[in-house]
Amino acid sequence: MSLTSASECTTTAAATATPAAPSTPTVSAPGASTVAHDSPWRTPLELTLLGAIWGGSFLFMRVAAADFGPFPLVEARLGLGALVLLPLLWAARAQFTPALWLRIAGIAAINSVIPFALFAWGAERAPAGIGAITNAMTVMFTALVAFLFFGERIGPRRLIGLVGGFVGVAILASGKTAGESVWPAALAGTAASLCYGFGLNFVRRYLTGYPSGAVAAANLVSGTVMLAPLAIYNWPHHPIGAASWASALLLGVLCTGVAFVFYYRLIARVGAP
């Protein structure tokens, strides 16, 4: 949260301060500077928590994907996450015009629906570690998209990291686990990370000035509605095991609902990677 500076009074010797900005973080535009008055450990702590939560999501997908299938699992994930964040969206509902909803829906497709489905599809075919490793390329793809499409400098260190990431994924895709090739899952995870790279840049540029929690909720609501027809059509006819239901619940509530609060707050505070 940032505070506005005190405005100097030109007619008197006294100085008055303007009111503080709202306590709800808003997604900031790229390049905008934000004066942080929070504890210095807050951002590193939230980054660590987010990394741990999202790391667990690949294990939950691995457990649940075989029972649910990709589209029903992602629908459960989006729907449960949306339920967690609905109060934030309701509180800011007056700011969400039809035009904004359309913008959010487009970003939700590339930032949630498609990558979630790709990772779930990969989780059916390869160990959870494959998805987690390819997901690490999100930072590099975010920098690459910003460089190619939005004119931001990429820097030599990011360029080296990008090349190294591609080499690493190529090596990973050429390997085998338990005698089976993992390249389909590795390619799916890489494509999902590329989607995240676009999505992060789109959030920074096209969803600025709105409460970050409400934007996260609207993203999940849009994704839930968008994917519903495919999820219903592909819903499994066999019974779904208790372990799969528990994994889907944790995936939706913790790894999506709670995680998206941290995710959008971090974008609002420090921007995309």
Per-residue pLDDT tens digits for 175-230: 665 556 788 999 999 999 999 999 999 998 998 889 989 999 999 999 999 999 99
The answer to whether residue 157 scores a pLDDT higher than 90 is no
As a whole number, the mean pLDDT across the chain is: 84
**Nearest CA-CA partner of 116 in 219, 205, 27, 212:** 219
The answer to whether residue 242 scores a pLDDT higher than 90 is yes
Cβ 64 vs Cβ 206: under 8 Å = no
Mean pLDDT of the 75-101 span: 96
Task: Tell me which of 214 and 168 has the higher pLDDT.
Answer: 214
What backbone torsions phi and psi does residue 69 show, to the nearest 5 degrees? 90, 160
* Amino acid at position 268, single letter: A
Give residue 171's pLDDT. 75
Mean pLDDT of the 31-49 span: 68
Confidence of residue 22 (pLDDT cuts 50, 70, 90): very low
What backbone torsions phi and psi does residue 31 show, to the nearest 5 degrees? 85, -10
Cβ 99 vs Cβ 168: under 8 Å = no
What is the rounded distance in angstroms from the CA atom of residue 88 to the CA atom of residue 103? 19
Confidence of residue 6 (pLDDT cuts 50, 70, 90): very low
* Amino acid at position 152, single letter: E
Mean pLDDT of the 156-165 span: 76
Mean pLDDT of the 12-20 span: 40
The answer to whether residue 132 scores a pLDDT higher than 50 is yes
Mean pLDDT of the 64-71 span: 97
The pTM score is 0.81
Give residue 239's pLDDT. 95
**Residues present in the chain in total:** 273
Q: Give the CA angle between residues 147, 151, 155 to the nearest 5°.
A: 45
Give residue 172's pLDDT. 67
The answer to whether residue 105 scores a pLDDT higher than 90 is yes
Task: Tell me which of 268 and 146 has the higher pLDDT.
Answer: 146
What is the rounded distance in angstroms from the CA atom of residue 99 to the CA atom of residue 62? 37
Q: Is 26 helix (H, G, I), strand (E, B) or coil?
A: strand
User: What Rg do the C-alpha atoms of the chain give, in angstroms?
Assistant: 20
- DSSP H helices, the chain, are 42-68, 70-91, 98-108, 114-123, 128-135, 138-150, 156-173, 183-206, 212-233, 242-252, 259-270
Positive or negative, the CA dihedral 253, 198, 164, 119 is positive
Widest distance between CA atoms in the chain:
80
Candidate from 91-100, 172-181, 198-207, 247-256 with smallest mean pLDDT: 172-181
